[in-house]
Amino acid sequence: MQPDAILMRCSACGATNRVPRGKLGLGRAPRCGRCKMPLPPIESEPVPVSDATFGELVERSALPVLLDAWAPWCAPCRQLAPIVDALAGELAGRVRVAKLDIDESPRTAARLGLQSIPTLLIFKDGREIDRVVGAQPKAEISRRLERVLR
């Protein structure tokens, strides 16, 4: 993929569209190449994921996904949250950043085999390809994401 292009999935027909970043900067609303409907806005903040939405938002995502498994009572999770938020803004259009509250979504947490939190999981084409357990520096998380984006 071109580094100056963003992949966006059309919510109307499901087609994946490659949109040049320059067109987004001009204030133009991109449209789907197949059905011509407006494309959804770019996610620059983490998207909440639940048992009900995991399949749609993670497994069927056109973009690679960084999934933050966390809980509100977990101090290291709260420490990692600003890093995850920053990555969501920096990688908008290249990576979907999502947050899974393990207390509210125990089925998905069990299905993923989560043993401890915080855990960051990296998905590509619906499959888990990397797992980072524990609070890590932003540079390490970015390095592991860049391997996926090549």
Residues annotated as part of the active site: 74, 77
Using a 10 angstrom Cβ sphere, with 0-12 exposed, 13-18 middle and 19 or more buried, the burial of residue 150 is exposed
Residue 121, SS3 per DSSP:
strand
Computed on alpha carbons and rounded to an integer, the radius of gyration of the chain in Å comes to 16
Helices 138-149 and 75-90 cross at an angle (nearest 10°) of: 50
**Tokens 């996926």, residue located:** 148
Distances (CA, A) of 18 to 5, 34, 57, 118: 6, 12, 19, 33
